[in-house]
A and B are shown apart, each in its own frame.
Chain A
Amino acid sequence: NAGVTQTPKFRILKIGQSMTLQCTQDMNHNYMYWYRQDPGMGLKLIYYSVGAGITDKGEVPNGYNVSRSTTEDFPLRLELAAPSQTSVYFCASSYEGWWESFFGQGTRLTVV
C-alpha cells in the first residue's frame, strides 16, 4: 500500500516555464488536496477535490490549476512559474472531509 505518492521530489524551474506536479493515491479516497508550505510557515490550501470531476479553490489558488479525472489522480499545474511559487508542495487525501488525512512526501520547487 503506497499511500499518497508525489512526483517529482525536487524541481528547478525558470521564470515563465510550466510544469505539472503529479499526485496519486491508492486508498480509494474521495477527498484530495494540494497545499503549499513556505519556509517556517504552516500549510496553505491551494485547491481541493471532493471526488472525480469536482474541484474547488482553496486559500491561495492564483497561478495554479487542477483537474480530477479519476479518483486516484489529482495533478497540480503551474502555467507561468514565478519566484513567489518557490515552496514545498504537499498533496493529501482523505476518505471523508473530516477523517484523517494522509500526506505525500512533498515536492520541493524552486523558481529562478
Chain B
Amino acid sequence: DAKTTQPNSMESNEEEPVHLPCNHSTISGTDYIHWYRQLPSQGPEYVIHGLTSNVNNRMASLAIAEDRKSSTLILHRATLRDAAVYYCILRDGSGSARQLTFGSGTQLTVLP
C-alpha cells in the first residue's frame, strides 16, 4: 500500500478553520484518499473520501491536489469536539486492498 505522511500534531482555535495536510507522493491511479478520525477512547470514525475532485460533506471538505500527491482535510469551523487524531489513508479502489493501513495520524488540539 502507498504510504501517507502527516504532521504529528496541530493546534487550532475554536471556531476557526483547520487545514490538515497529508502527503502521498506514491499514490496510484486507483487509490482513494480516505480520512478517519479517532476521538479519545472511541473507535475511528469515517470523515470523508475522494479520488480526484474536491469533496464536501456535512463534516468536512477534502481538497485534492491536481497531481494527487497531496490532500488537505478542511474543518470549516473547529469545535472542541473536533479534537481528535486524524488519519489520512489510501485505499485501492481496484479491489486488491482489503484493509485500512493506519499511520500515526495528526493529533489535533482545539483551543477554546
How far, in whole Å, are A105 and B44 apart by their CA atoms in the complex? 9
Majority SS of interface residues in chain B? loop
Q: Is the CB of B98 within 8 A of A100?
A: no
Within the complex, what minimum Cβ distance (angstroms) separates B56 from chain A?
Answer: 16
Within 8 A of A (CB), among B34-82: 34, 36, 41-46, 49
How far, in whole Å, are A33 and B26 apart by their CA atoms in the complex? 25
How far, in whole Å, are A37 and B98 apart by their CA atoms in the complex? 18
Question: With an 8 A cutoff between CB atoms, is B93 at the interface?
Answer: yes
Scan A58-94; emit 1 where CB is below 8 A from any B CB, else 0.
1000000000000000000000000000000010100
Could you say which residues of chain A place their CB within 8 Å of the CB of B42?
105-106
Of A35, A44, A101, A105, most buried by chain B (CB within 10 Å of CB) is A101
Q: Is the CB of A48 within 8 A of B98?
A: yes
Within 8 A of A (CB), among B1-57: 32, 34, 36, 41-46, 49
Within 8 A of A (CB), among B92-107: 92-93, 95, 97-105
Could you say which residues of chain B place their CB within 8 Å of the CB of A4?
43
Q: Is the CB of B46 within 8 A of A101?
A: yes
Size of the B side of the interface (Cβ < 8 Å), in residues, is 24
Q: Is the CB of B95 within 8 A of A42?
A: no
How far, in whole Å, are A33 and B87 apart by their CA atoms in the complex? 17
Q: Is the CB of A90 within 8 A of B44?
A: yes
Within the complex, what minimum Cβ distance (angstroms) separates A27 from chain B?
Answer: 13
Q: Is the CB of B102 within 8 A of A98?
A: no
How far, in whole Å, are A100 and B44 apart by their CA atoms in the complex? 11
Q: Is the CB of B103 within 8 A of A42?
A: yes
Of B46, B98, B102, most buried by chain A (CB within 10 Å of CB) is B98
Q: Is the CB of A90 within 8 A of B43?
A: yes
Could you list 13 examples of A-B contacts with CB < 8 Å? Answer: A33-B100, A42-B102, A42-B104, A90-B43, A92-B44, A97-B97, A97-B98, A98-B32, A98-B92, A100-B34, A101-B36, A103-B44, A103-B45
Hey, which bits of chain B sit against chain A, CB under 8 A? Answer: 32, 34, 36, 41-46, 49, 87, 91-93, 95, 97-105
